[in-house]
Structure 1
């Protein structure tokens, strides 16, 4: 069991990393052909996508998880080891972000052109479908997870709150020289194009906050339920 998840974590981490690099290379290539001076702006924009940030964090979490599985438990068939509390908290956070990414993209954004240049089809599916599904399965079935206290939910939602604040503050200041318009990573966060302006943006922010909180609470619940006989990490 442990060896299986070590192998799966490395494979999925490499696949996600390759997907990020492929889309970044395509996006930068398009920007360079259009205006070489815009490449820096485009790269910052690329890493302003919640999807990209979540997937990049997934690569780190999966590789660290593979190393921890080897160092703490070896590669035998047993699963009797516990991950550090900090790692489990970060892992729960990244699982939450990836599941949210999969839900939001496939319900709200699939079929909508995003401001990142031409989408690399296979990369898109790994970042929005394969990655989220695997991170969820890894959280449910991989060994090492320790039970988390409910107060860890604050740690899980901290990054999305910071990301939304960054996005809404940067948006009016990030002017795309090609279009002369403000740049936002997702159309539902752009008050200048949303039908209801900031009211519409506020609605979606609250909606996604509820989704993230619910998924984060679900991740904590799973950790407590499936390891209910272990002491809860504070």
Structure 2
């Protein structure tokens, strides 16, 4: 579905505005995190590496890049109504999947946990609530959608799997700069020292299944709204 020029132009403006807002949220949280580490005399390089090891930060950063790509491409082509190229269509479906997962996992598993002193409140809400909501709406309302093959849903699993492998391999190679523990996990449900490997594996399987289900849904919505590639 291409939609009208007016709709496409308006939604493109919203995409660029949301990309800007998410980018500002990432930068604000990064500055606060690094400043807090420096003030507390914690290891700043490790803190920075840990910051970019959170799935939330990676999924939001990817969303900024893809939303900006979609918006700039539309404007660069003089607002012509053309269906998204396959790489862009796949990237939109994938970042929508990651952001929806980010929102669901945070609000179901992490919402009740106490926030760190360095947490920027508005930034936290943008990355965990408003960004995911916008990317979900984009699936239904974004212009110039192109139908993707079903196998594109499997492609969405590549990054999360790589992130989980990276996280588990790195965890025991890093000293937690806040607590001094000889390991660091970005999220409590991935930490076997706080529960068990059985629990961690259960969460990983649950999240993996959810990612595939959400990705299939994203592709299904795109297939319903878009047209086949030529």
Normalised-by-shorter TM-score class: over 0.9
Residues 127-155 of structure 1 show CA distances to partners (whole Å, capped at 9, x for unaligned) of 00110011111121111221011111221
What is the CA–CA distance in structure 2 between the aligned matches of 1:119 and 1:140, rounded to whole Å? 32
What is the CA–CA distance in structure 1 between the aligned matches of 2:73 and 2:180, rounded to whole Å? 48
Name the structure 2 match of 1:187.
188
How far the C-alpha of 1:71 sits from its partner, in A, is 2.9
Name the structure 2 match of 1:43.
48
Alpha-carbon contact 1:175-1:183 (below 8 Å) kept: yes
How far the C-alpha of 1:117 sits from its partner, in A, is 4.9
What is the CA–CA distance in structure 2 between the aligned matches of 1:32 and 1:169, rounded to whole Å? 26
What is the CA–CA distance in structure 1 between the aligned matches of 2:177 and 2:164, rounded to whole Å? 23
What is the CA–CA distance in structure 1 between the aligned matches of 2:142 and 2:178, rounded to whole Å? 46
Any residues of structure 2 matched to 1:65-80 within 5 Å, and which? 65-72=70-77, 74-75=78-79, 80=81
How far the C-alpha of 1:98 sits from its partner, in A, is 0.2
TM-score using structure 1 length? 0.91
The answer as to 2:21 corresponding to 1:21 is no
Distance change in 2, residues 1:113/1:170 (3 Å): farther
The answer as to 2:156 corresponding to 1:150 is no
Name the structure 2 match of 1:168.
168
> Equivalent residue of 1:175, what SS?
coil
TM-score using structure 2 length? 0.92
Distance change in 2, residues 1:8/1:198 (3 Å): same
2:228 corresponds, among 211, 227, 231, to: 231
Unaligned runs of 5+ in 2: 1-6
Name the structure 2 match of 1:212.
211
Unaligned runs of 5+ in 1: none
Structure possessing the higher relative contact order (Cα contacts under 8 Å, 6 or more residues apart): 2
Name the structure 2 match of 1:128.
128
